[in-house]
Amino acid sequence: MFLLSESHLDRLQVVLVSPRNPLNIGAAARAMANFGFSHLAVVAPYEPHWREAKSAIGSEKLLQNAKSAEHLADAVADCTLVIGTASLTRRKPEQPVASLPDLPPIVQRELDRGGRIALVFGSEKRGLSREDLSHCHLLVTIPTDSRQPSMNLGQAVAVCLYELCARPNALRASGDVEPDPAQADPQTEDDPPASARDLEILTAVVEEAMRAANYSPSIMRKANRHDMHLMLRRLTLSRRDARRILGLFRRILWQLQNRAGQSNK
């Protein structure tokens, strides 16, 4: 089996959002250890004692070192590509969708350019919420029988990591895949892709400018924030461009607030 390099493994993390059963968290940790992954983040777990899961056989240290977060945005803040897993049986996707067998080349390109990746899994009961998915650049589906589309959390993690671990390097080694000029990424080490943290900061300033400009009724603010999350991720901004746009909106916001202050005198 072909394995990702140590530097690549170090830049890919598994994120579990609102997992309900500690045994599933332990099973996910064990699957990660099976394939050489070590970075796990657990967001708002249902049970407080999840680090004691006895199903994490051989991966107890990984579980103890896992990052804990209250919100998904915090868990993926330093990531440049956030991939959400979804069955899409009851939801219309708002992001690009890839089938799991098509995911490895996408992951390989992001790692090759120095990016950091989060592979996000939802709760056993409901999966990822619409708000959770708004933090994702891409959705991935695991091909399953339509009569039973959902998978056990630990099994889903194992299947995804096996695919990522084996497929990209196998394709590269066999020479079956040639570089696609159309997929060439203009970003360089001097201008890396914007991280999720960069996009969250930009979203907050744009949202504040929209409020200052009375862009829409207050009842629309949540929907506007959701749409802004999706749009900024579709743009695949570099960090430099994100900062330029941030500076632009900060200037617009300053002008709006300054005018409002003058009109109140």
The pLDDT of residue 179 is: 39
Q: What is the pLDDT of residues 100-140, one digit of tens each?
A: 988 988 998 898 888 999 999 998 888 899 899 999 999 99
Q: What is the pLDDT of residues 90-107, one digit of tens each?
A: 778 888 999 898 898 899
Residue 150 has pLDDT above 80, yes or no: no
The pLDDT of residue 161 is: 94
The pLDDT of residue 125 is: 82
The pLDDT of residue 59 is: 92
Residue 186 has pLDDT above 70, yes or no: no
Q: Distance (Å, rounded) from C-alpha 41 to C-alpha 69?
A: 7
Residue 169 has pLDDT above 50, yes or no: no
Sign of CA dihedral 79, 81, 82, 83: negative
The pLDDT of residue 30 is: 94
User: Please, which pLDDT band fits residue 265 given cuts at 50, 70 and 90?
Assistant: low
| Average pLDDT, rounded, for the chain | 85
CB within 8 A of 251, min separation 6: which ones?
A: none
Percent residues over pLDDT 70 in the chain: 87
Residue 12: strand pairing partners: 117
The pLDDT of residue 167 is: 54
Burial class (CB in 10 A: 0-12, 13-18, 19+), 199: buried
| Fold type of domain 6-177 | Alpha/beta knot (3.40.1280)
The average pLDDT across 65-93 equals: 90
Q: Given 3-state DSSP classes, what are the helix, strand and coil percentages for the chain, each rounded to the nearest 5?
A: 50, 15, 40
Is the pLDDT higher at 169 or at 68? 68
The pLDDT of residue 183 is: 43
User: Please, which pLDDT band fits residue 43 given cuts at 50, 70 and 90?
Assistant: very high
User: Please, which pLDDT band fits residue 181 given cuts at 50, 70 and 90?
Assistant: very low
The pLDDT of residue 31 is: 93
Hey, what are 10's tokens?
Answer: 């170090």
The average pLDDT across 23-42 equals: 94
The average pLDDT across 148-165 equals: 89
User: Is residue 218 within 8 Å of residue 185, measured between CB atoms?
Assistant: no
User: Is residue 145 within 8 Å of residue 41, measured between CB atoms?
Assistant: no
Q: What is the pLDDT of residues 202-248, one digit of tens each?
A: 999 999 988 888 888 889 888 988 989 989 988 888 889 989 999 99
CA neighbor of 12 nearest in space, from 137, 98, 116: 116
User: Please, which pLDDT band fits residue 170 given cuts at 50, 70 and 90?
Assistant: very low
Is the pLDDT higher at 177 or at 134? 134
The pLDDT of residue 29 is: 94
The average pLDDT across 51-65 equals: 91
